[in-house]
Structure 1
Amino acid sequence: MARNKYPEITENRIIDTSTKLFMSKGYENTTIQDITNELGDLSKGAIYHHFKSKEEIMDAVNKRIIEQGLGSLKEIVNDSALSGIDKLREAFLLLITSTQKEASNRKIPPLQKNPQLLALYMRDTLGVASDILTDIVEECIKDGTICIAQPHELSQMILLFFNVWINPWIYSWTSEELNNIIVFMKDLLDTMGVPIFSEEIIQSINVLYSLS
């Protein structure tokens, strides 16, 4: 086999193709042969040269998805024109908008039907993203826009709310159930001294559910 001068290009092609297949067919229903067929010009051996197993490909896919989201979050953190509370609201809108983009793709199956993706998604919900969100919460505390004693736990609660509780790929709520959840969370956070639910955020959540 000729030596690949640009292995990162081949690896990115494998990740791109695998992402599409994992999301459309599900991880368990996708084989290395499926990935090979979709790529067209690579053999199984070539794929195994870059990734030892399908599980390793899945880890690379998940890492790519996380890095894409983190890049946008970091831009919000570094925006000096925004106050702490504005950064927090922008972070919320980013989480919702990201899910809206997925919702417009009708080929993506619910995460309950893709248990490997769901497991990785749940694992990473409280990973690096919560550390970045904690930085924003701590900025809110410093500039006095919110008042909370446990910024890290607050960031984790927020991520669980947006990425899990109201994620239509995990739970399907009726309009009444969704409204009750939003009212509950808004009242809870307002009482805690974290008034972050804006009309724009509430409207964006409702738009998200109309797409799912």
Structure 2
Amino acid sequence: MARNAHPELTQERIIKAATELFTSRGYDKTSMQDIIDATAGLSKGAVYHHFRSKEDLFDAVANRLMKTMSEATDKTQTQTEQDTALEQLQSLFSPERARKRLEAADLMFSKFNPKANPKMIGMEFIALVDERDDFVDLFNQGNQDGSLHVDHVEQTAEIFRLLTNMWLLPFFRRGTQTELRTRAACFFSIMRGLGIPLQDQGFSDLLASFGTNAKGNNKEKTESEGSR
């Protein structure tokens, strides 16, 4: 049998097929045979060569999706030492930086059905709560440079991660343009109440562009999107 010269491409093909099925149907209602059929040409042996079980394949898909979600609030190297913590946080919600992350996440989650994926949501929740990330350090920095006034740093970091990675974004919970714009306004109000005076500098309009229309289907672009 000829050796596969590009195993990473085969693996990506399997993950892509599994992602579409897991996110739309859910873990329990997707079988390995369903995934094999969705690869359009790969044999059962080829799929099992890369993933020994449905559980292994689900872990690969979940890790890919979680990485995509976490990148929605990932810090990049564009900040300088002169930037305050608030300025670094504010840049995360600038339309210029947020757009690419939202578009990438939307491609991954376009068929995501939250009610069919409690396992995936549970894994994401546990990961977000358990991991201590750079936001703890950033909030401490902000308290020192005077740009933030956070009383409970670790707990606020947990809230920040949960809201920005799960509640705020329109993938675990869809919404109309108006609902998403209101959700963004609520998020900024919560942050200000926690001592993080973020300002909405166009993020709510960007988020709303990923919303559904009044009937819950088809994305509508905001007026600002259409005028460009």
| Unaligned 5+ runs, structure 1 | none
Q: Give me the CA root mean square deviation.
A: 3.6
Name whichever structure is richer in helix by fraction.
Answer: 1
| Unaligned 5+ runs, structure 2 | 213-218, 221-228
- Listed as ranges, the matches of 1:15-54 within 5 Å are 15-54=15-54
SS at match of 2:199: coil
Q: Which has the higher contact order (CA 8 A, sep 6+)?
A: 1
Supply the distance in 1 between the matched residues of 2:185 and 2:40 (Cα, whole angstroms).
Answer: 51
Determine if contact 2:181/2:205 at 8 Å carries over to the other structure: no
Corresponding residue of 2:225: none
Moved more, 24-33 or 46-55: 24-33
Corresponding residue of 1:56: 56
Supply the distance in 2 between the matched residues of 1:71 and 1:105 (Cα, whole angstroms).
Answer: 13
* TM-score, length basis structure 1: 0.74
For residues 145 and 107 of structure 1, do their structure 2 counterparts lie closer, same or farther at Cα, with a shift above 3 Å needed?
Answer: closer
Supply the distance in 2 between the matched residues of 1:169 and 1:69 (Cα, whole angstroms).
Answer: 9
- Listed as ranges, the matches of 1:62-81 within 5 Å are 62-70=62-70, 73-76=73-76, 79-80=79-80
- Listed as ranges, the matches of 1:95-174 within 5 Å are 98-99=101-102, 108-128=111-131, 131-171=133-173
* TM-score, length basis structure 2: 0.69
Supply the distance in 2 between the matched residues of 1:57 and 1:31 (Cα, whole angstroms).
Answer: 11
Q: Could you list the per-position Cα deviations for residues 154-193 of structure 1 after superposition, in whole angstroms to 9, with x for gaps in the alignment?
A: 12111222333344444466747973x6555544432432
**1:15 alignment partner AA:** I
State the aligned residue count: 210
**1:63 alignment partner AA:** N
Percent identity, aligned pairs only, is 25
Supply the distance in 1 between the matched residues of 2:62 and 2:203 (Cα, whole angstroms).
Answer: 26
For residues 34 and 168 of structure 1, do their structure 2 counterparts lie closer, same or farther at Cα, with a shift above 3 Å needed?
Answer: same
For residues 4 and 170 of structure 1, do their structure 2 counterparts lie closer, same or farther at Cα, with a shift above 3 Å needed?
Answer: closer
